[in-house]
Amino acid sequence: MKEISKELEEKLFSEAEKMMQRSYIPYSGFAVGAALLAKNGTIYTGCNIENAAFTPSNCAERTAFFKAVSEGVKEFDAIAILGGKDRKVSDLCTPCGVCRQVMAEFCKPDDFLILMRDGKGNVQKQLLSELLPSSFGPGNLL
């Protein structure tokens, strides 16, 4: 199983938690923060950004990915995700299907770790291959 150090894991969760304060959530009131670890060691953070027209809303995970890719970084090891109402971490926040698909664009399913933690401190770690089995990715178009 792919692993990252406890120290790095803690750093990712702490960055993700900070991002929940930046979430723009006038419609759902549900804040999500993400911290994406690139293979070069850089951490890209993201929050969810909602929109009055609803459809243009962006999840925290995709915000983090798009920030990284727009900076020329496309190789990643892990992402930490936290979420909850009133900007407080509640239940485990698993990534939505659209975000899983974006992850599959840039990450090998067996080499990308998704870290989630609830408000009680329970941590769940899953590979992308577990959260998005039989995925359709760039390899399918070759």
- Smallest distance, ligand THU to C-beta of residue 142, A: 29
Distance in Å, CB of 39 to ligand THU, minimum: 22
The CB-of-105 to ligand THU minimum distance in angstroms stands at 16
| Residue 61 annotated among the catalytic residues of the structure | yes
If binding is defined by CB under 6 A, does position 99 make contact with ligand THU? yes
Question: Is residue 30 involved in binding ligand THU (CB under 6 A)?
Answer: yes
Query: Taking a C-beta distance cutoff of 8 angstroms, is the pair 114, 126 a contact?
Result: yes
Site mask for ligand THU (CB under 6 A), range 41-80, x = bound? -------x-x------x-xxx-------------------
